Structure 1
Amino acid sequence: MIYNPKPFDVIVCGAGHAGVEACLAASRMGVSTLLLTGNIDTIAQMSCNPAIGGQAKGQMVREIDALGGEMAINTDVTGIQFRLLNESKGPAVQSPRAQCDKKAYQFRLKHTLELQPNLQVFQATVTGLIYKDGKVVGCRTSLDIDFLGQTVVITTGTFLRGLMHVGQNKNEGGRLGDFSAKTLSGSLLEAGIELLRLKTGTPPRILGRSINFSGLQEQKGDAEPTLFAFHDTRDQGDLFHVEQTGERRAGWKPGSEQVSCWMTHTTPESERIVRDNLHKSAMYSGEIAGVGPRYCPSIEDKFVRFADKPRHLLFLEPEGRNTNEYYINGLSTSLPFDVQLDLVHSIPGLEQAMLLRPAYAVEYDFAPPTQMFPSLESRKVENLFLAGQINGTSGYEEAAAQGLVAGVNAALKARGEPPLIIQRHEAYIGVLIDDLVTKGTTEPYRMFTSRAEHRLLFNHGSAELRLFEHAKIHKLLSESRLRKISGKLSQITHWEQYLENNKTTGGSWADAIRRDKAAAALPAAFLTESKEVRAEVLYRVTYRGYLERERRQIEKLKDVEKIKIPSSLDYLAIPGLRRESALKLNQLRPENLGQAGRISGVNPADISILMVLIAAGRREKKP
């Protein structure tokens, strides 16, 4: 049966971190939105580490907040420990990270979806897509109920033909205790979308009361926690707003009652156990064909690839305030369960540890992301958007960022409006999406500060300033918050100019700050500004020379980005263009010369040939 004769504007398939941001973004833009999930009780579940943020990821969460997403505020009010990473380094690479109560995080987001206007949540497993004239027009489900939609966003995570491995034991599913989406892959292949396999893994979970904490190194949260959401531009009452129904979402005062994590390490006995049993590991026995994450290796990979390291650090992280379950960060494995027991018991503090859940690896389908436009719409099927691990990424933050952009662009497509495209020089989100659609990936993609050539501009405190115009144009934030951000930007600009142009002893105030920021006396009126304004002004003044150099480089690159490539261009017919480059350009169809130059295997000589050809075409068109 058809559920809705009148199509939804946006249908989102999957309710992980990408799916929840996609459906919230679309519904908050005022379009009718449907979220389909195989299990309503696992909405926004933290399948792996109960943490948000980290290097570059923390900055990306703040960008999600700047564009109206939910991940930052949800983390703040369900966080149980906050730490600022790289605190001793420059502000550009300082990254907030938080441990969350994973059930509180999940329950609050589920409640948020239930209370969201223009959004309907429905439990059903999507088994296939409905196509018409090369476009997607809806979804089929396991309940024999079809849903029609103008646009569809696929956010299936690790569930596409998901297969879990514990040694030689195999179980179908995208997550321990959950199902596998077995038929949707066939529907995507039917439409001409290429699918490959990737692998990820997760460590065992243990009972906290069985840990011997004596002798372990304690890691406390920061006394002054760095939060993710921009609380200074929110209205009072936004945090724990009570709905008209009297409902109040889960959560507590951000940064309150923080808990500790604990550090331990592997031993020579741990290494012996792993090496003696490598042949039993699903990864090393050939049972898994998918490529695993380079930057989050299994314990087997660590001992094999880093044989010179005497030991590997492990972190014991509580999964919440109302559970005694702990996560062993750094001990991802696909070894058999009996070997896992011996391995865990070889670790200081875990000699008597009781396992609650085994570690496992999961193998799943993904769609190489070069099959998408920068809007995250499929090049193969119109009105179909893909976001999250289906695009080859790893991590909650990368998924949420894509989900938000896909949700916004699905809503815009349904309304017949131009898409939101975030450029590489604007945000880590722009770098993430540009890397995916131009370079692709053959392994789970993880964001790092080193991937962004303009990362000096991406200090986490500036996210809502950098993305203000996008938020304003697409009405992603409330009018009240937009006004506050505008006022904040005005104050920052005023003080930046004041400090540069007004004198104090030995030069301008700005000169004094650049000589010795710690010792510089600052104007009394400046010290009355909010800490957020002060921090951004001091960052801009301190690193002025470097920031100006970045902006000059961006201006130079803009000229190349502005040169559009005709969509009908046949690269294989261009004289002098290397065949390798022509094949890749024909496959990826870049929209401009800047994007073409970032494609792996396309060199500057190829770009010069294209530039000459495009210039000649322009001259021919002139009367």
Structure 2
Amino acid sequence: MIYREEPFDVIVCGAGHAGVEACLAAARMGASSLLLSGNIDTIAQMSCNPAIGGQAKGQMVREIDALGGEMGINTDVTGIQFRLLNESKGAAVQSPRAQCDKKAYQFRLKHTLELQPNLQIFQATVTGLIFKDGKVVGCRTNLDIDFLGRSVIITTGTFLRGLMHVGQNKNEGGRLGDFSAKTLSSSLLEAGIELQRLKTGTPPRILGRSINFTGLQEQRGDSEPTLFAFHDTRDDGDLFHVEQTGETRIGWKPGTAQASCWMTYTTPKSEQIVRENLHKSAMYSGEIEGVGPRYCPSIEDKFVRFADKPRHLLFLEPEGRNTNEYYINGLSTSLPFDVQLDLVHSIPGLEQAQLLRPAYAVEYDFAPPTQMHPSLESRKVENLFLAGQINGTSGYEEAASQGLVAGINAVLKVRSEPPLIIKRHEGYIGVLIDDLVTKGTIEPYRMFTSRAEHRLFFNHGSAELRLLEHASNHKLLSNNRLDNIRAKQKTILDWMEFLEKNRTTGGFWAEGIRRHKEAAALPEAFAKESKEVRDEVLYRVTYRGYLEREQRQIDKLKEVEKIHLPPDLDYSKILGLRKESALKLQQFRPHNLGQASRISGVNPADISILMVLIESQRRAKNAGNNSPA
């Protein structure tokens, strides 16, 4: 049966971190939206570590908040420990990170979705897509109920033919205790979308009261926590209440009553156990065909690939305020359960630890992301968008970023408006999506500061200033918050001008800041400004020369990005273009020369040939327009 004849504007299939941002973005833009999940009790479940942020990831969460997303504020009000990473380094690479209460995070986000106007939630497993004339027009479910939609976003995470491994033991599912989406892959293949396999894993969970904390190193949260949401430009009354209903959402004042994490290490005994049982590991025995994450390796990988290291650092992290369950960060494995027991008991502090859940590896289908446009719409099927781990990424933050962009662009597509494309120089989200659609990935993609050539601009405090134009153009934030951001931006610019043009004892204020950094004397009025304003002004003044040099480089690259490539250009017929380059360009169909230059296998000589071709076509067109009638 068809649920209703009137199609939804946007249907989101999957309720993980990508799915919740996608449906919220669509609904908040006024589009009729539907979220389908095989289990609505696990909406926004933190399947692995209940932590948000980290290097580059923390900046991405601030960018999500700047574009109207929910991850930042949800983390702030359910966080149980906050730390600013790289605090001793430059502000460009400082990254906020928070350990969350796993259940509070999930429950609050589910409640937020339930209270969102224009959004309907329904529990059903999507079994296939409905196509018509090369476009997606809806989806089928295990309940024999069909849902019609003007656009569909697939955010299935690890659930596409998900298969979990504990040694030789195998169970179908996208995570322990949950189901596997077994038939949707066939529907994607039928549409001409290529699928491959990836693998990820998670450590065992243990009972906190069975840990011996004596002798372990305690890791406390920061006394002045760095939060993810921009509280200085929003109404604090929106943290826990929804004005229309008066319902109270779970959460607490950000940064209060922080919990401690603890550090321990593997031992020579740990290494011996792993090495003697490598043949039993699902990863090393050949049971798993998918490629695993390079930057979040299993303990087996650590001992094999880093044999010179005498031990490996592990973190014992609480999973919430109202549970005694702990997460062993750094001990991901697919070894059999009996070996896992011996391995855990070989670690200082865990000699008597009780395991609540075994570690496991999970392999799943993903669609190589070069099959997408920069809008995250499929190149194969119109109106079909893909976001999250189905695109080959790893991490809650990468998934949420894609979900947010996909949700926005699905609405814009339905409305026949140009898509939101965040440029590489505007934020980590832009780098993420550009990397995916132009370079692709053969392993789970994780964001790092080193992936961004313009990271000097990406200090986490500037996210809402960098993305203000996008937020304003697409009405992603309230008018009140947009006005607050503009006022904040003006205050920052005014202070920068004042400090550069006005003198104090020994020279201009700005010169003193650059010479002495934070130790410099500052105007009394400046000290009364908010911390957010002061930090941004000091950052821009301190690194002014570097930022100006970087801006000149960006301006040069902008010219290349402006040179658009015809969508029907036949690269195989371009004289002088190398065969490898022609094949790559034919496959990826870059929108402009900038994208073309970032495709693996396309070199500067190829770009020069394309520039000559485009220029000759432009001249020929102009000559034709100027010829007498």
- TM-score band w.r.t. shorter chain: over 0.9
Aligned equivalent of 1:147: 147
The Cα of 1:454 is off from its aligned counterpart by 0.2
Tell me the matched-pair count.
623
Aligned equivalent of 1:193: 193
The Cα of 1:243 is off from its aligned counterpart by 4.2
Q: For the residues of structure 2 that align with 1:17 and 1:226, how far apart are their CA atoms?
A: 22
The Cα of 1:103 is off from its aligned counterpart by 0.1
Aligned equivalent of 2:415: 415
1:348 and 2:369 matched: no
1:214 and 2:194 matched: no
Q: For the residues of structure 2 that align with 1:256 and 1:246, how far apart are their CA atoms?
A: 24
After TM superposition, list the pairs within 5 Å mapping 1:316-327 onto structure 2. 316-327=316-327
Aligned equivalent of 2:71: 71
Deviations 1:137-186 (A, max 9, x none): 00000000000000000000000000000000000000000000000000
Aligned equivalent of 1:167: 167
Aligned equivalent of 2:118: 118
Q: Point out the more displaced range, 32-41 or 241-250.
A: 241-250
After TM superposition, list the pairs within 5 Å mapping 1:236-315 onto structure 2. 236-315=236-315
Q: For the residues of structure 2 that align with 1:451 and 1:190, how far apart are their CA atoms?
A: 34
1:10 and 2:10 matched: yes
Change (3 A) 1:403 1:242: closer
The Cα of 1:520 is off from its aligned counterpart by 1.3
After TM superposition, list the pairs within 5 Å mapping 1:504-515 onto structure 2. 504-515=504-515
Aligned equivalent of 1:435: 435
1:575 and 2:569 matched: no
Aligned equivalent of 2:332: 332
Normalised to the residue count of structure 1, the TM-score between the two structures is 1.00
The Cα of 1:303 is off from its aligned counterpart by 0.1
Q: For the residues of structure 2 that align with 1:432 and 1:47, how far apart are their CA atoms?
A: 22
Aligned equivalent of 1:501: 501
The Cα of 1:241 is off from its aligned counterpart by 2.1
Identical residues among aligned pairs (%): 85
Aligned equivalent of 2:535: 535
Q: For the residues of structure 2 that align with 1:205 and 1:214, how far apart are their CA atoms?
A: 20
Aligned equivalent of 1:522: 522
Tell me the amino acid that sits aligned with residue 127 of structure 1: T
Q: For the residues of structure 2 that align with 1:506 and 1:226, how far apart are their CA atoms?
A: 34
Q: For the residues of structure 2 that align with 1:244 and 1:520, how far apart are their CA atoms?
A: 48
Q: For the residues of structure 2 that align with 1:193 and 1:157, how far apart are their CA atoms?
A: 17
1:57 and 2:57 matched: yes
Tell me the amino acid that sits aligned with residue 285 of structure 1: S
The Cα of 1:517 is off from its aligned counterpart by 2.0
User: In structure 2, the residue corresponding to 1:182 is in which secondary structure?
Assistant: coil
Tell me the amino acid that sits aligned with residue 500 of structure 1: E
Aligned equivalent of 1:393: 393
Aligned equivalent of 1:92: 92
Q: For the residues of structure 2 that align with 1:244 and 1:542, how far apart are their CA atoms?
A: 45
Q: For the residues of structure 2 that align with 1:236 and 1:179, how far apart are their CA atoms?
A: 38
The Cα of 1:240 is off from its aligned counterpart by 2.1
Tell me the amino acid that sits aligned with residue 246 of structure 1: G
1:40 and 2:69 matched: no
User: In structure 2, the residue corresponding to 1:46 is in which secondary structure?
Assistant: coil
The Cα of 1:389 is off from its aligned counterpart by 0.1
Aligned equivalent of 1:133: 133
Query: Where do 4+ consecutive residues of structure 1 move more than 4 Å?
Result: none
Q: For the residues of structure 2 that align with 1:606 and 1:418, how far apart are their CA atoms?
A: 29
Deviations 1:552-584 (A, max 9, x none): 000000111011111111111111111111101
User: In structure 1, the residue corresponding to 2:524 is in which secondary structure?
Assistant: coil
Change (3 A) 1:242 1:612: closer
Deviations 1:226-271 (A, max 9, x none): 0000000011312122544331000000000000000000000000
Aligned equivalent of 2:459: 459
Q: For the residues of structure 1 that align with 2:15 and 2:568, how far apart are their CA atoms?
A: 37
Deviations 1:308-365 (A, max 9, x none): 0000000000000000000000000000000000000000000000000000000000
Q: For the residues of structure 1 that align with 2:156 and 2:167, how far apart are their CA atoms?
A: 25
Q: For the residues of structure 1 that align with 2:375 and 2:573, how far apart are their CA atoms?
A: 28
User: In structure 2, the residue corresponding to 1:248 is in which secondary structure?
Assistant: coil
Deviations 1:539-560 (A, max 9, x none): 0000000000110000000111
Normalised to the residue count of structure 2, the TM-score between the two structures is 0.99
Q: For the residues of structure 2 that align with 1:374 and 1:134, how far apart are their CA atoms?
A: 19
Unaligned runs of 5+ in 2: 625-629
Q: Point out the more displaced range, 220-229 or 570-579.
A: 570-579
User: In structure 2, the residue corresponding to 1:257 is in which secondary structure?
Assistant: coil
User: In structure 1, the residue corresponding to 2:517 is in which secondary structure?
Assistant: coil
Q: For the residues of structure 2 that align with 1:507 and 1:3, how far apart are their CA atoms?
A: 72
User: In structure 1, the residue corresponding to 2:82 is in which secondary structure?
Assistant: strand
Tell me the amino acid that sits aligned with residue 573 of structure 1: K
Q: For the residues of structure 2 that align with 1:285 and 1:77, how far apart are their CA atoms?
A: 43
Q: For the residues of structure 1 that align with 2:83 and 2:156, how far apart are their CA atoms?
A: 30
Aligned equivalent of 1:546: 546
Tell me the amino acid that sits aligned with residue 164 of structure 2: M
Unaligned runs of 5+ in 1: none
Q: For the residues of structure 1 that align with 2:183 and 2:258, how far apart are their CA atoms?
A: 44
The Cα of 1:618 is off from its aligned counterpart by 1.1
Q: For the residues of structure 2 that align with 1:68 and 1:410, how far apart are their CA atoms?
A: 16
Q: For the residues of structure 1 that align with 2:312 and 2:286, how far apart are their CA atoms?
A: 25
1:365 and 2:365 matched: yes
Tell me the amino acid that sits aligned with residue 146 of structure 1: D
Q: For the residues of structure 2 that align with 1:213 and 1:243, how far apart are their CA atoms?
A: 45
Q: For the residues of structure 2 that align with 1:230 and 1:309, how far apart are their CA atoms?
A: 41
User: In structure 2, the residue corresponding to 1:140 is in which secondary structure?
Assistant: strand
User: In structure 1, the residue corresponding to 2:20 is in which secondary structure?
Assistant: helix
Q: Point out the more displaced range, 523-532 or 342-351.
A: 523-532
Aligned equivalent of 2:627: none
Q: For the residues of structure 1 that align with 2:245 and 2:387, how far apart are their CA atoms?
A: 33
Tell me the amino acid that sits aligned with residue 570 of structure 1: D
1:489 and 2:489 matched: yes
After TM superposition, list the pairs within 5 Å mapping 1:472-483 onto structure 2. 472-483=472-483
Q: For the residues of structure 2 that align with 1:568 and 1:71, how far apart are their CA atoms?
A: 39
Q: For the residues of structure 2 that align with 1:578 and 1:193, how far apart are their CA atoms?
A: 27
Q: For the residues of structure 2 that align with 1:263 and 1:9, how far apart are their CA atoms?
A: 48
The Cα of 1:506 is off from its aligned counterpart by 2.2
Q: For the residues of structure 2 that align with 1:66 and 1:86, how far apart are their CA atoms?
A: 22
The Cα of 1:414 is off from its aligned counterpart by 1.0
